[in-house]
Amino acid sequence: MVKTILVTGGAGFIGCHLCKELLNSGNIVYCIDNLSSGSFENIKELTKNENFHFSEHDVEDYYQISEKIDEIYHLACPASPPFYQKDPIKTLDTNYFGTRNVLELGRIKGCKVLLTSTSEVYGDPQISPQSENYWGNVNPIGVRSCYDEGKRISETLMIEYERKYNIDIKIARIFNTYGPQMNKDDGRVVSNFINQMIYDKDITVYGNGNQTRCFNYVDDTVEGLILLMNTKGVRGPINIGNENEITINELLDVLRYLIPECKSDIIFKILPGDDPKQRRPSLKMAKELLMWKPKTELHDGLSKTIDYFEWLKNSV
């Protein structure tokens, strides 16, 4: 069945891959994005498809659309620490007013609404792996709070709309995701390290590099989101990520292996405030309820990401 689907934040890193996949399955996709951290370049190719409709729109303002909508994927929000910390009050507004607007639209259209929440709702976790019933360890007044608490309030809004209006909602908690189309200047570790290496710049390790993360390839993340949307009776919150936990130093080792010609020096910088020491999802729910688990090996995903940034370097 051809569906009409709205994707907020569709010109962002994960959003553009999601739009592409939804179009490939024959759907009609409306994409809105204020292009603050996403870019038109990410969706330029998709605009050639007659089923793709893009509007530059800030989700904080109510979005009017006369078409019938079957599903909304709500991704709009800057997601990398330097971006969401640039204007913390805006980040909070995007999460509260943006999610509220999207839910109102969902209520009026009578359609499913999926929120991409985040592993950041677990804060600096005191248990590992983090399962969905863990309430987290979030500093409400720290430098990451605008995003962490913003996403927490988004989740609360989703649940309250379900309780009050019986809307069909879905909540995905996305863990670190990487791949082609990441914003080069996003400030994230994968994009920073690769670009520092291919441009012969110093590699910036924050803290001692022993903090851990699990990196999930974008195609796997997108597959998990689509499965969640389409699995009846599964609402979440549900973790979408990878269980392969590595330190930042180990990530660097893998990248140095994949880019042997790299001559960059490593410099250690101060660990940013409230930077989680470890992060690893429990995927028990995703495996049992969605029959989903990631397929891409870290080496393969990183190689594709390196190819993308090399291509970008050579195309300017």
In this structure, the strands spanning 212-214 and 245-247 are antiparallel
Residue 56 beta carbon to ligand UDP: minimum distance, rounded to whole angstroms: 26
- The strand order across the sheet containing 169-174 reads 52-56, 28-33, 4-8, 71-74, 112-118, 169-174, 238-240
Cβ neighbours for 291, distance < 8 A, ≥ 6 positions apart: 227
CB hemisphere CA count around 150 (13 angstroms): 28
Question: Does the footprint of ligand UDP cover residue 173 (CB under 6 A)?
Answer: no
Smallest CA-to-CA distance from 313 within 199, 178, 155 is with 199
Phi-psi region for residue 85, left (φ > 0), alpha (ψ -120 to 50) or beta? alpha
Question: Does the footprint of ligand UDP cover residue 211 (CB under 6 A)?
Answer: yes
Print the binding letters for residues 274-293 with ligand UDP: x by CB under 6 A, - otherwise.
Answer: -x------------------
Site for ligand UDP (CB under 6 A): how many residues? 15
Concerning whether 147 is annotated as a catalytic residue, the answer is: yes
281's tokens: 């999802």
Question: Does the footprint of ligand UDP cover residue 216 (CB under 6 A)?
Answer: no
Interface residue with ligand UDP among 95, 116, 176, 216 (CB under 6 A) is 176
Which residues share a beta bridge with 246? Answer: 213
Question: Does the footprint of ligand UDP cover residue 204 (CB under 6 A)?
Answer: yes
Print the binding letters for residues 177-196 with ligand UDP: x by CB under 6 A, - otherwise.
Answer: -----------xx--x----
Residue 97 beta carbon to ligand UDP: minimum distance, rounded to whole angstroms: 23
Q: Single out the segment in contact with ligand UDP by CB under 6 A; choices: 38-46, 95-103, 200-208, 223-231.
A: 200-208
Number of residues that this document lists for the chain:
316
| Gyration radius from the chain CA atoms | 19
Interface residue with ligand UDP among 35, 248, 254, 312 (CB under 6 A) is 248
Distance CA 257, CA 261 (A): 9
Question: Does the footprint of ligand UDP cover residue 117 (CB under 6 A)?
Answer: no
Question: Does the footprint of ligand UDP cover residue 80 (CB under 6 A)?
Answer: yes
- Residues annotated as catalytic are 147
Q: Which residues bind ligand UDP (CB under 6 A)?
A: 80-81, 176, 188-189, 192, 204-206, 211, 213, 248, 271-272, 275
